[in-house]
Structures are given as structure tokens and as C-alpha cells.
Structure 1
Amino acid sequence: MTEETTDFTADLERIAGARLLCVGDAMLDRFIYGSVDRISPEAPIPVLQIQCEQAMLGGAGNVARNLSALGTESCFLTVLGRDEAGRMLIGLVGEETSIEAQLLFEENRRTTVKRRYIAGGQQLLRADDELVAQIAPASVADLLSRAETDLATSGGLILSDYGKGVLTDAVVTRLIEMARAAGRPIVVDPKGADFGRYAGATILTPNRKELAEASRLPVGTDAEVEEAARKIIESCDVAMVLVTRSQDGMTLVRADAPPLHLKAAAREVYDVSGAGDTVVAVLAAGLAAGIPVERAAELANLAAGIVVGKAGTAVATPGEILNAQHATSLMSMDRKTVPLSTAAETIRGWRTHGLKIGFTNGCFDLLHPGHVSLLAQARKVCDRLVVGLNSDASVKRLKGEDRPVQSEAARAAVLGSLASVDLVVIFAEDTPIHLIETLRPDVLVKGADYTVETVVGAEIVQSYGGRVVLATLEAGFSTTGTIGKLTGGKLTGRKA
């Protein structure tokens, strides 16, 4: 009876437990912001009055930073120059606790720096400071040795190729051989017109221009993109191609399946810098976590739609991705619905202000006055109320094949509209034990049809001094009864 929807909550939690090896060209992205009020008297160009500057991890570094934003651990392998930009990159990587940085250095190498000059939300100029050169044989040997060691514990390999010299033909070939031998998925952000150098990779993620150059075919329509991607699959010995197509979304092409065309998820495009890095990070994290490629591509599409709406080389957090999913399915943004990791962080902030945290949980399918009363009572015994909401798959297991009536996105949006509810966390398990252990609420609330001894998680909450409250039930209301009236009593699911 439920509308078709994708449960990304469990996927995002699985992604947070993954680990990846990321190898490629790192660079320093600098953004110089200012205002333009006049034209230079020296030449017909604008004069930028600089107001502030910002430095960020760029290239493969931005891929690792996006993995960190997802909660995914990574080993980041690259080669830098012993220069000011290289030292700045060391500091920026050090700020990301989820990144294990294995940075190699060469005396005569220059670290790439990209400077973008911006005024009024528009990029005026990009200036690149770089010297493209292949890394030295000693660096190749060191890099490959470190990569082979890390692949024993990482769930996948990312090759972020910006053509600056870290990913030489020999390095690419050997890395792919090692990853295949270890049974790891290999995600490549390719560069150049010869995709044959990535033979053996699991999936390539070219943009439309890169695909056209590598395939030497037109890529204007869906059919043309599919034909070009299939040519790459057949001629370059790769399993799949995910084409990023700007305002036209993405297209996933596999050798043995029909193409999957995904509409662009962006509502507003502000800056496309680094969007491809986000796609690679989310896609690879999904595959490393064992998520089917179709779902991983959908997550990557949502994440890309988020980062292009931000300034600079940005990242997408699990909470933002989940909100984007619900916004897509409901055409409205429910900012109260967050994944567990975001809820835990929010609660830590609340506790610094001395606020008491309450928790209750349920399916909340077809919200009725009984539900509303329970939530209102729960909110009265705490300062902030978190609601654990069973996912669609969880409700189906608990209530039967005909349930839920409403998708998890719809149920979360309705709960989020109530003033009594401060956060909604969707969980895929049958019980909220993991949520309770992680969030450690001060008050656990359930209906009076339970006893304290039968409330799931009661012992945990009481063990650290919390309390269990049984809310008064409103007689005459149940989801099962409502559905029975609507269907004339023809209901196969179990009692709500």
C-alpha cells in the first residue's frame, strides 16, 4: 500500500562504517572573494577589491574530504612538493580526523594551486599555478607499497586523476591489479582521451565533455550518451560508466542492464567546483559498503545537487542527503529528519546548554490523535524530543506486507511538522536499541500499554540514571482500526 520510495537511511549508516583508499592528484584550492565597483583605467577589466580569502583541499584531497563528511574513513595517498602550498595541505588534511594521510614529498615538485577570484557570486577568473610532471620512480615504489598494505583493510579504491603526474600509467595499472586481486571495487574519476589506461576498473565517472573526447561520439541525447558509454565499456574493459551531465543529471550504463537516467537534483546552482569529487566519494563509499550501484548512484546524484548549491569546493553531509531525498519525494524540505550521526551531534550541543533529552519511537503510520497525545506528553517531560521512526522495510517486517500505508519520508514529514517533535531519526532495525545506546536519552517514553519491564531500552536508560515514563493512551484510536474502516475490514497486516 505504500508509495514506492528508497530507504537511504540505512545506506547512509552503512556508508559511515566504510573505509576507502583514495589515490590521486592533490591540490590547494584558494577562493578570493571581493567586490567590483569599477573598471581598471589600465585595461578593460574589472578591479576586484579583495575582502577575504579561503583555502580548501582540492582535487583528490576534496574527494577524501567528502568521504570524511559522510563519516567514511579513508587512507589518502598523494605526492606533494616541499613548498608553502604543500605545507598548507598538510594542515588542512590534519583537520579531518577521518582521513589517514600518507603524504609523500619530492624536493623539486610544485604543489598545484588553483586560485578563483569571485565577486557577486560570479567567478571572474581562475589562475592555476602548477608544473605537470610524473612522480619519481622512488615515489612510485613507495606509493605502491603503501597502497598494497592499505588495501588489506580498505573496502574499495578511488583513483582521482587530474593529470598532474601522480597517477602514471604504471601506477594506475598496478593499483587496479592490486585492488582486483583483493576483490575491491575500483572507482575512477578519469582524465584525458585514453580511458583504456583504466582497464579493469569497476566504474568510471566522466563528465559529458570527457566522455565525448574519449569515445569520439556525440553525447547530446540520452541515447547518444548511452552509446558512447557502451563504447567505453567494450573498448576499455571497464564494467560500468556513470556519466555526469550537469543540468541533465546522470546516466548509469552497465554492460548487462538497461541504462539508468537520473534527473538533476539541484534546485539552485551556485558553484560547480568539486561536484565531480563529491560524486566519486559518495559512489565509492556506497560500493565499499556493499550498496547496489543503482542506489549508490542515486545517493551520488542527490549529493551533487547539494554541493553545487554551495560556494567553493563543498561537501554533502548525511543529514543534507537525507533531507534532499525527502525533499525530492515530498516536494518540501523536512529539516527535522536526520541520520543517527547528525542526531548525536545535535544532542551533544543541546546538552552543553543543560537541556533534557527525551526519546520515543514507533511506526507512526497514519498519524492519529493517540499518536499526537503521546508525543505531546513526551515533550512535557523533556526539553527536546527525539522520535525514532521505523523505516519502510522495518514496518513491513513488523506489521505485514500491506504496511506501511505511508512511506517513511511522508511519515517523517508529518512528525516533523509537529511542534512537540524536535528531531526524527529513521532506523532500519526492528527495535531502537542502537539509537538508545547512541543517543542516551534522559527520558524514555512509551504508551501505558507497556510496563516499564517490557519497554525496549528501559534497562539501558535506567543504568545511567535516566527514567522511563509511560504515557496515558487515548482510547479508540489505532492505525489498524483506521485502515480496517477504509478497506472494509480487508486488512492482512498485524495490529498497529
Structure 2
Amino acid sequence: MNARMPELHAVLGLLEGGFARLRVLVVGDLMLDRYVVGDVERISPEAPVPILRHVQRYARPGGAANVAMNLAGLGVHAVLAGVIGHDEDGAELMRLLRESRGVDCSCVVEGGRPTISKTRIVSRTQQMLRLDVESREAAAAEEIDELLQRVLVALDRVDAVILSDYAKGALTEGVCRDVIAAARFKGVKVFVDPKSREFSRYAGATTICPNLGELAAATGVSAYDRENLLAAARMLVVSTGVDFLTVTMSEHGIRIVGGSGSEYHSPARAREVADVSGAGDTVIATLAAAMAGGLARETAVELANLAASLVVAKVGTVPVRAEEMVAELTVSQRAESTNKVLTLERAVERVREWRAVGESIVFTNGCFDLLHVGHVTLLEDCRAFGSKLVVGMNTDASVQRLKGPNRPVVGERERAKVMAAMGAVDVVVLFDEDTPLDLIRALRPDVLVKGGDYSVETVVGHEDVIAAGGSVEIVPTVEGFSTTGLVQKLKASQSRES
């Protein structure tokens, strides 16, 4: 995200569990995306066409179903509404959706038309051919009525609505009008991914999210005439009564057009593009989830832009995952990692970033006054239990209470700096209490390590760590090395010299 992203903490909070409190309703055209993948090594002798040597085949939810899958990937509870056929493709689509465990299919209606499917023939990463199966007949009126009734009931328990219009018949003008009106009456934001060139059917939505081609079709202005196209987009905002337009501009990023606030442009993130299939689904899912989660529209657009950049780097219709977004977001924070001495608040944030990308967190603590080989051995042993080591260090005041008025020998700032220089240590946090219990509860380490003659039951914080599914490890101390012993040797040496 760019420098205008002051809400990084809030964004990470949503991605790392906050989205789970949200429910978003997706209404639209449901599809099954099939892929037949292989290698082309020669041309057929029967006709001038390539021969694909089959390697694998698979299927994924597509259309509005892919929007729901993106929401589930972010951690949102998705409620999906649409129409499928009573056929094998419909059954497979429902199986894939149920396996995701994040998509509620209770608003899906089974109709008389075949389930829409798209079969893509792919050689390595190059799409060679697409075979579509769909009916040109309109959905039966009773099917659309049943769909609308289920959607209106579901509106009572959702935080946002997405209309995913692929112009395949589920989102009639009447359905769009009634859903938008009911949602706005309940104070629920509505996000539209349009295919119809008549944007009037989406009047009253929170935002419509066209790409340049869709915007050009709706306005009659060439997609290459950027200045006049955006001017026409501003007029659409007024005529449709939407809060703003969110225009996806391919390699030029995403632009917020119109509305009460100033317009905003989020440049595209540099990334090699493998396949743009489903990128629009990812954008609208992320935008809706982010705004439903309380983020400003500018922040939500930045997050949607990031999500799109991740999915276009993959082949096929692949939903975004919260974990990969966290990993991408925290790349920009890695420059800070050279500073290992952190406040508790920043340490908690750093640990959250690590955990999001699969790191295991180890914690140990001590005064670490006059660092010696016993301390070094303890730190090396700690690191063997996980991938990141956080060290809690007593402040000077805490050491004095525990060790007496003549300790520590080395001040807390110097002790922390020396500890941070250790290769095995990833973070150092000072604590002023007599025990590190509050620190342990805040950091929630996967492994709690203590050196010395302890049992698990006598280690401070063991109950919290074990209750959270972690473990407590006891490592032996190195005989003959202690800070107290070093202090006594120094005093004895000074006495002999005097």
C-alpha cells in the first residue's frame, strides 16, 4: 500500500480475524470454471491445429461464485444467491462451494436452465480456447421471484451486498431495483460489478465498479479518451445517484470518481501478469469487505488493488487469501526489522505479522545483566523451538526489586542493545513488572522457554500458553556461568587490586 495508508493497523486487524465478524451477500450469475491443462509440442497432421497433451484438469467456482470465494478467502462469511441448473455442473459447483466452508449457499435456487460453465483449454500458462455452455433463454419468472424472496430475507443479517452481474439473467432490472432499495432502506451498502450498459438499473447503489470497457459502453465515450471518459463517469454518478464510481483501469490501477470527497487514484502495483480471469471479482469482494469493515473508501481501494495484483499473477480463477495479503503488506515493514528493541504494542504487531505468514513464535525472559555464555546457550536453545524468538527483558527498576539496589550492573538500554545484536534474537521487549505474565498474555507465544531448575508448573505464564495450544520447554543452564558469579569475581578482583 502507498504512503497514504495510515490505517495499516486497522487493515491488518481485519485480515487477521476482523473480517470473520462480517457477512456479505453476493447476488448474481453463478458459473463453473473448468480448466484442461497440458503441453503443446506439435501440430496435428489432420488439421492445422495444435495438439494438447493432457496433464491435468480441475474446476473452480466462477462468476458470482468466485466473488463469494474471494470473500471466504478474506475470512468473511459469504452468503451466495443465484440460480443453477439441475445437472452435473450444478452439483459440482455446489460441492466446491461447500468444501470452501466459508460460503452459505442457502439462497441458491435450482432452476430449469443448465448451469453456466466455461471450459478453458490451457497450454502451460497460455489460454488457447474457451468453451462456454449456457442457455440463451431467460430464467423462469418463478425462479427469479424465489431468488428475490430469499435475498430480501437474507438482507436482515448481512453487512454489505454485492451485485455480480455477468448479464446471464439472474440480475434482472427488477431484481437490481428491489435489492438496492431494500438494502439502502436497511442502511446496507451495495456494490455493483456491472455488465449491462444501462447503469440506470443500478441507481442508488453505493458504488458501481466498471472496467474501462464497461464504462465506455455505458457512456458512449471511447476507452482511449481518458479525460472525456472520466468526465462522463462523473455525470453518471449524478444521474444514477450512486455515492461514487470505482473504475478499474487495468495497468493504470483503480480510480474513485465523483462523490462527496475528492477523487482518488490508486496506481497499479508492478507485477508480472499471468491471467486476468477473476480479477474484477477479487476487486469488488475486497472493496465491499473492507468498507463493510469500516475502512475509508480510499483505503478499501488500495486494499482491493493489492488483492487484484496478487490474483493476476496466478493462472486461472483463483481467489485471494488473507494470509498472502498480510505477507505482502508487511513487506514494506521489513525495513523496520533491523530495529529489534520494540515497545510492547509494536512487538504485538510484529508477532501478528509473523504469525500471519506461518512463523512460530518462541518467548523467553530474564534480566540478562552481564551477558555471558550461559545466556548465549539459552538463546540458541530457544531458537531451536521455533522460527522467531522474542526476548522479554526486565527494566532497571524491575531488576532492582528482584536482585537488590546494586543491580543491574548494565543499564536497560545497553542490555537491550546488546541482546538485539544476538543473531538468535528477533525482538527484545522491556517490561517493568516483576514477572513477564502480561507480556506473555499479549504476545501469545507458541513456545515458552525457561532455563534452569524449573518444572513446567513453576514457569510464569505456563497456563496461558498451554491453554492456547502452545508448549512450555525447560532447558538446562550451563554450569559455572551466572551473572551473580561474574559480579562476585569482579568484586574479588577489585579487592585484590586495592
TM-score category, normalised to shorter length: 0.7 to 0.9
Structure 2 residue matching 1:231: 3-state secondary structure: helix
Partner residue, 1:380:
381
Gaps of 5+ in 1: 351-356, 362-368, 390-414, 423-429, 447-451, 475-496
2-side partners of 1:278 and 1:238: how far apart? 21
Matched ranges for 1:180-195 at <5 A: 180-195=184-199
Partner residue, 1:83:
87
Deviations 1:74-130 (A, max 9, x none): 111111010111111111111011111125444531111111111132111112111
Partner residue, 2:407:
none
The equivalent position to 2:181 in structure 1, one of 169, 177, 182, is 177
Q: How many residues are treated as equivalent by the alignment?
A: 411
The equivalent position to 2:208 in structure 1, one of 200, 204, 209, is 204
Deviation at 1:40, TM superposition (A): 2.6
Q: Does 1:227 align with 2:228?
A: no
Instruction: Name the CA shift for 1:81/1:338 in 2 (closer, same or farther; >3 Å).
Output: farther
Question: What letter matches 1:380 in structure 2?
Answer: D
2-side partners of 1:338 and 1:120: how far apart? 38
Instruction: Name the CA shift for 1:322/1:360 in 2 (closer, same or farther; >3 Å).
Output: farther
Matched ranges for 1:258-269 at <5 A: 258-269=262-273
Matched ranges for 1:472-487 at <5 A: none
Matched ranges for 1:79-478 at <5 A: 79-102=83-106, 104-220=108-224, 223-327=227-331, 340=352, 343=355, 346=358, 358-359=362-363, 380-381=381-382, 383-386=385-388, 420-421=425-426, 433=441, 436=444, 441-443=446-448, 460-461=464-465, 467=472
Deviation at 1:387, TM superposition (A): 6.5
Partner residue, 2:403:
none
Deviation at 1:181, TM superposition (A): 1.2
Aligned residues of 2:163 and 2:192 also touching (Cα < 8 A): yes
Deviation at 1:431, TM superposition (A): 7.5
1-side partners of 2:199 and 2:482: how far apart? 64
> CA RMSD, aligned part only?
4.0
Question: What letter matches 1:384 in structure 2?
Answer: G
Deviation at 1:231, TM superposition (A): 2.1
2-side partners of 1:340 and 1:202: how far apart? 33
Gaps of 5+ in 2: 339-348, 392-419, 428-437, 452-456, 484-498
If the length of structure 1 is used for normalisation, what is the TM-score? Answer: 0.72
Instruction: Name the CA shift for 1:377/1:73 in 2 (closer, same or farther; >3 Å).
Output: farther
Deviates more, 1:63-72 or 1:10-19: 10-19
Partner residue, 1:10:
13
Instruction: Name the CA shift for 1:156/1:105 in 2 (closer, same or farther; >3 Å).
Output: closer
1-side partners of 2:255 and 2:111: how far apart? 42
Partner residue, 1:399:
none
Structure 2 residue matching 1:257: 3-state secondary structure: coil
Deviation at 1:220, TM superposition (A): 3.3
Identity within the alignment, %? 36
Instruction: Name the CA shift for 1:53/1:262 in 2 (closer, same or farther; >3 Å).
Output: same
Deviations 1:377-429 (A, max 9, x none): 5563351145689xxxxxxxxxxxxxxxxxxxxxxxxx9x966559xxxxxxx
1-side partners of 2:289 and 2:21: how far apart? 9
Deviations 1:278-332 (A, max 9, x none): 0011111111111111111101000000000011101221221123234467799
Structure 1 residue matching 2:263: 3-state secondary structure: strand
If the length of structure 2 is used for normalisation, what is the TM-score? Answer: 0.72
Aligned residues of 2:253 and 2:268 also touching (Cα < 8 A): yes
Deviates more, 1:45-54 or 1:167-176: 45-54
Instruction: Name the CA shift for 1:463/1:284 in 2 (closer, same or farther; >3 Å).
Output: closer
Structure 1 residue matching 2:239: 3-state secondary structure: helix
Aligned residues of 1:326 and 1:333 also touching (Cα < 8 A): no
2-side partners of 1:375 and 1:90: how far apart? 56
Structure 2 residue matching 1:295: 3-state secondary structure: helix
Aligned residues of 2:81 and 2:109 also touching (Cα < 8 A): no
2-side partners of 1:298 and 1:231: how far apart? 24
Aligned residues of 2:390 and 2:426 also touching (Cα < 8 A): no
Deviation at 1:29, TM superposition (A): 0.3
Instruction: Name the CA shift for 1:141/1:330 in 2 (closer, same or farther; >3 Å).
Output: same
Deviation at 1:467, TM superposition (A): 4.9
Deviations 1:17-47 (A, max 9, x none): 3211111101010111111122233433222
Instruction: Name the CA shift for 1:444/1:101 in 2 (closer, same or farther; >3 Å).
Output: farther
2-side partners of 1:186 and 1:303: how far apart? 20
Deviates more, 1:143-152 or 1:61-70: 143-152
Deviation at 1:197, TM superposition (A): 0.3
Instruction: Name the CA shift for 1:17/1:360 in 2 (closer, same or farther; >3 Å).
Output: farther
2-side partners of 1:445 and 1:317: how far apart? 36
Structure 2 residue matching 1:36: 3-state secondary structure: strand
Structure 2 residue matching 1:151: 3-state secondary structure: helix
Instruction: Name the CA shift for 1:117/1:183 in 2 (closer, same or farther; >3 Å).
Output: same
Matched ranges for 1:16-35 at <5 A: 16-35=20-39
Deviation at 1:342, TM superposition (A): 8.7
| Higher RCO, Cα 8 Å, sep 6+ | 1
2-side partners of 1:266 and 1:207: how far apart? 19
